[in-house]
């Protein structure tokens, strides 16, 4: 069995591989504890409430990668929140996608009546908050994903009831492109959550490139 001896310690190949893997995990996890976003990958159709991606723990900072693939496409997410829970949602789009300007809609019981036509079926008893992408958008470079993103619409509110809410991402102007949905504000994670983050980051890089 191949080995090396360093200051009296016997290192087999298996031990070296294990140490290398541990070093990679620790190296990746250190900045993630500061960056503090769990990254998830859109791996299934989310084109209706019935097939919506269910978000677990809406207070934890997470981001979801998705794509509107065709004119009229709408992606849905749902989550449960207790009354008084702070809800923070925002969108970003890769700069490489140019003038892709999706809208963000939060709808559910107890929210105010929409001030405009939501252009989607929100239900007869639900209210809605609709946020649009601004014309002059700031941008930022994400050093973990090696990508420049344009800022999109943001919604910050508190849940008026203890119930299930829904998020819709759409572009009524008909453009198609990729987006990143940011959720939550909590930034403390367990180690198993950080490992999920590492896997999610790799999937996010694959989606972006």
Q: Whole-angstrom Cα distance, residue 193 to residue 38?
A: 7
Q: Which of 124, 180, 182, 123 is nearest to 156 (CA)?
A: 182
Would you give the DSSP letter of residue 111?
A: S
Global confidence as pTM? 0.72
pLDDT tens string 83-104: 999 999 999 999 888 888 999 9
pLDDT tens string 21-69: 544 544 444 444 434 455 555 555 677 888 898 998 898 888 888 889 8
pLDDT tens string 92-142: 999 888 888 999 999 999 999 998 888 888 988 899 999 998 777 788 888
Number of other CB atoms surrounding residue 6 within 10 Å: 7
Domains of the chain: 3-34 (no CATH), 37-208 (2.60.120.380)
Any long-range contacts for 122-130 (C-beta under 8 Å, 24+ apart)?
Answer: 122/166, 129/105, 129/155, 129/157, 130/103, 130/104, 130/105
């Amino acid at each position: 069995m191949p080995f090396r001896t360093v200051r009296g310690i016997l290192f087999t190949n298996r031990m070296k591989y294990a140490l290398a893997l541990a070093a990679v995990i620790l190296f990746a996890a250190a900045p993630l504890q500061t960056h503090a976003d769990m990254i998830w990958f859109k791996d299934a159709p989310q084109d209706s409430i019935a097939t919506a991606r269910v978000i677990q723990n809406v207070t934890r900072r997470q981001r979801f990668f998705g794509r509107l693939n065709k004119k009229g496409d709408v992606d849905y997410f749902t989550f449960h929140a207790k009354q008084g829970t702070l809800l923070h949602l925002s969108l970003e789009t890769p700069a490489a996608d140019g003038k892709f300007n999706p809208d963000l809609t939060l709808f559910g019981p107890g929210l105010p009546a929409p001030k405009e036509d939501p252009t989607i079926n929100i239900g007869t008893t639900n209210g809605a908050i609709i946020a649009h992408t601004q014309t002059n958008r700031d941008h930022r470079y994400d050093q973990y994903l090696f990508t420049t993103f344009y800022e999109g619409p943001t919604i910050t509110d508190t849940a008026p009831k203890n119930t299930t809410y829904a998020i819709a991402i759409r572009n009524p102007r008909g453009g198609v492109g990729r987006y990143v949905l940011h959720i939550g504000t909590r930034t403390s994670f367990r180690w198993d959550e950080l490992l999920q983050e590492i896997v999610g980051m790799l999937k996010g890089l694959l989606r972006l490139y």
